Amino acid sequence: MTVPTRSLVAALPLVLALGACGGGTPSDLPSRPEIGSSPTTPRTERTTVPVTPDASPDPSPDPSPDPSPRPAPEEQAALDERLREAAWADDVDRAHGLVARGADVNAKDETQQSAYLIATSEGHLELLRLALSSGARIDDKDSWNGTGLIRAAERGHALVVGELLQAGIERDHVNRIGYQAIHEAVWLGADTPSYATTVRVLAAGGVDLDRRSPSAGLTPLEMARSRAFDRLQRILTTMTTDERPADPDAALLGAARDGDADAVALALRAGADIEARDASSRTALLLAATHDHVDVAQVLVAMGADPDALDDRHDTPWLVTGVTGSVAMLEALLPADPDLTIRNRFGGLSPIPASERGHVDYVRRVVSTGVDLDHVNDLGWTALLEAVILGDGGRDHREIVRILLAAGVDPTIADHDGVTALQHAEQRGYDEIAALLRDTQR
């Protein structure tokens, strides 16, 4: 079961709702036929058109058999169970292997849990993407007659909510206890940043914000007021009372630049192109990254904004993080799977400007992303060389040198003039950095 433990204040309306609709624990609810085909569903037999003396047999061959025959029923059941176990553990590599062997992302256990539905409730984004690419039934329901969108919204999984909305899931389905996704995000959620992003993403994705819950009798805004959720109340007030912008694209770009995440969601709800560009070819996500508006970036990433969109200076949202040194923005962009090989106008990758500028925390985080730490830019410098050549030899740059060396960079790479990082450090009198480099090369 994935019904979470709720706070006392959230539990009361749920109990009332269950009583009102005759509900109870999942085991008390009537069984629901599994959506789609099941082993007991008779297959439609293929019919053959009789050949008459006046008709020639159809020369077309039968469709080619499935090159990957289905496993035996017992083996299939075992594969499906192991896939669900991998889903609970968020073991994406194992799940990939099981799917390749024929495990079904839609196969359910006795509690109506499938790997796909587990991914939605647990917020396992990469596993969800695997399920969607492997034929997940997007509108499948759980034992509460809830969709994956409802499950994700209840838990405040904004990225999963956005992924499902982009995949075309039914936005306003009402589950067995009378809630849509937006109702569960508010009534059973919390007044926290993650739920704020979730509500913004739902609004940006066009969910109905005016419908009353059949069980609670409240709109999402009324729910937020009842729960004294000031943050969610402000967001929903903006979405339901502010006029939609006449020029959604311009409104989106302006809101992203100014850091107004609510206005960003409203512009997307009004039909803004998420990849709209300003006069400098900057997208909303690039503007958010440039000005370090993380809450804006979180909405845009959840709704599918491109982290690799280049502006007229050959910057991308990801590349800009190396300049700003924002670890929070780095984390916000990583779920969008940015291309770490795109180069800036100097031919560099994000660790190079970060090392030059002394962004210690950023360098400490970025070395674990898989980016090429020995990349050489157009000036002939690696991140290590820039930390020495353009650094000040102080504490921050010393720490960056330590981090880079510990991450396995090659300290023997020389610049275009054949000068190594050690030689540059010695020339500048950076004795501590020089000592670090000598120790590495012994």
pLDDT (tens digit, 9 = 90+) per residue, 269-299? 999 999 999 999 999 999 999 999 999 999 9
* Those residues with Cβ within 8 angstroms of residue 11's Cβ, 6 or more apart along the chain or in another chain: none
Q: Which pLDDT does position 71 carry in this prediction?
A: 81
pLDDT > 50? residue 168: yes
CB count within 10 Å of CB 255 equals 26
pLDDT > 60? residue 312: yes
Domain boundary among 84, 114, 137: 137
Q: Is residue 160 part of a domain?
A: no
Q: Is residue 335 part of a domain?
A: no
Phi, psi of 67 (to 5 degrees): -65, -20
pLDDT > 90? residue 45: no
121 or 18: which carries more pLDDT confidence?
Answer: 121
Scan for tokens 């838990």, then name that residue.
155
Q: Is residue 211 part of a domain?
A: no
As a whole-number percent, the residues of the chain with pLDDT over 70 amount to 84
pLDDT > 50? residue 333: yes
Q: Is residue 351 part of a domain?
A: yes
Q: Which pLDDT does position 366 carry in this prediction?
A: 99
Q: Is residue 39 part of a domain?
A: no
Q: Which residues pair with 420 in a beta bridge?
A: 414
Q: How far apart, in whole angstroms, are the C-alpha atoms of residue 298 and residue 198? A: 9
Q: Which pLDDT does position 66 carry in this prediction?
A: 52
**56-65, 166-175, 238-247: range with lowest mean pLDDT:** 56-65
Q: Which pLDDT does position 34 carry in this prediction?
A: 34
The residue segments making up the domain with residue 106 are 74-137
- Whole-number mean pLDDT of the chain? 89
Average pLDDT over residues 163-168: 98
* Those residues with Cβ within 8 angstroms of residue 116's Cβ, 6 or more apart along the chain or in another chain: 105, 106, 128, 131, 132, 136, 137, 140, 148
pLDDT > 90? residue 316: yes
CA 342 to chain centre: 21
Q: Which pLDDT does position 70 carry in this prediction?
A: 74
Average pLDDT over residues 150-178: 98
- Reported as a pLDDT band with limits 50, 70 and 90, residue 56 is very low
Scan for tokens 């704020």, then name that residue.
196
Scan for tokens 């898989």, then name that residue.
370
Q: Which residues pair with 277 in a beta bridge?
A: 283
pLDDT > 80? residue 76: yes
Q: Is residue 426 part of a domain?
A: yes
Tell me which residue of 389, 190, 425, 198 sits closest to 298, measured CA to CA.
198
Domain boundary among 119, 137, 155: 137
**Number of folded domains that form the chain:** 2
Q: Is residue 346 part of a domain?
A: yes
CB count within 10 Å of CB 18 equals 18
As a whole-number percent, the residues of the chain with pLDDT over 90 amount to 83
pLDDT > 70? residue 33: no
Average pLDDT over residues 148-164: 99
- CATH code at 86? 1.25.40.20
**40-49, 94-103, 227-236: range with lowest mean pLDDT:** 40-49
Residue 162 · residue 205 · CB < 8 Å: yes
pLDDT (tens digit, 9 = 90+) per residue, 335-392? 999 999 999 999 999 999 999 999 999 999 999 999 999 999 999 999 999 999 999 9
Q: Is residue 30 part of a domain?
A: no
pLDDT > 90? residue 50: no
